């Protein structure tokens, strides 16, 4: 039988992944930042692959339900939703589990637009949303060489969670 007691881990790791297809004429949102481009990422929400992958990484870190379970694509209330809502729910659940975010690292895979010129803005926005220092937000971008994925963008994210709640002090008689 698996143990039913709560984990006493001081740190936990979480991993998240997401992909969306490019569609013409919609805004491109990456990490809560609007990037000027003639296409955006389609999806039931605003299609922000980076925030979706971060959200799933946070939820995975506490072995919680995934983003699609909490915010089903079939539910019309999430159509065009700001993905910051999803991220905030995941952060709330992480805090309730007694953890905070130590750092995160991410890799975006897309052919265009180039992420380099927007990297500082994306890292700053993600850091702000997560209430962590900018140097705790890693962001790398790769082109999908040999993958034939020109029409889509992908995001991979790992987060490290650190226990925040203090243990009760030992009382001596």
Which parts of this chain interact with Mg ion (CB under 5 A)?
18, 52
Give which of 30, 93, 83, 32 is closest to 60, Cα–Cα: 93
Phi, psi of 171 (to 5 degrees): -100, 135
Quote the CA–CA distance of 84 and 163 in Å, as a whole number: 23
Quote the CA–CA distance of 16 and 41 in Å, as a whole number: 18
Our CB check for Mg ion shows the closer of 12 and 52 to be 52
Q: How far is the CB of 64 from Mg ion (least distance, A)?
A: 17
Helical H runs in 18-66?
A: 49-61
Our CB check for Mg ion shows the closer of 52 and 93 to be 52
Q: How far is the CB of 18 from Mg ion (least distance, A)?
A: 4
CB-CB contact of 58 with 66 (8 Å): no
Our CB check for Mg ion shows the closer of 23 and 163 to be 23
Our CB check for Mg ion shows the closer of 52 and 156 to be 52
Q: How far is the CB of 49 from Mg ion (least distance, A)?
A: 6
Helical pair 119-130 and 49-61, crossing angle rounded to 10 deg: 40
CB atoms within 10 A of CB 92: 11
Our CB check for Mg ion shows the closer of 18 and 108 to be 18
- Give the residue nearest to Mg ion (CB): 52
Q: How far is the CB of 107 from Mg ion (least distance, A)?
A: 16
Q: How far is the CB of 53 from Mg ion (least distance, A)?
A: 8
Q: Cβ-count burial of 6 within 10 angstroms (0-12 exposed, 13-18 middle, 19+ buried)?
A: exposed
């Amino acid at each position: 039988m698996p143990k039913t007691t709560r984990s006493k881990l001081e740190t936990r790791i979480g991993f998240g992944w997401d992909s969306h297809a490019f569609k013409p004429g919609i805004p491109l949102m990456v990490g809560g930042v609007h990037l000027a481009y003639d296409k955006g990422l389609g999806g039931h929400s605003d299609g922000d692959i980076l925030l979706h992958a971060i959200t799933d990484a946070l939820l995975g870190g506490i072995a919680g339900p995934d983003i699609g379970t909490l915010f089903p694509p079939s539910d019309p209330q999430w159509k065009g939703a700001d993905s910051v809502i999803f991220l905030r729910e995941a952060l709330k659940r992480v805090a309730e589990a007694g953890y905070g975010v130590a750092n995160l690292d991410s890799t975006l895979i897309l052919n265009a637009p180039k992420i380099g010129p927007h990297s500082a803005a994306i890292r700053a926005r993600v850091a702000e949303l997560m209430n962590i220092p900018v140097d705790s937000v890693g962001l790398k971008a790769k082109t999908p060489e040999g993958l034939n994925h020109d029409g889509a963008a992908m995001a991979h994210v790992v987060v490290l969670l650190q226990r925040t709640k203090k243990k009760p002090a030992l009382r001596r008689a």
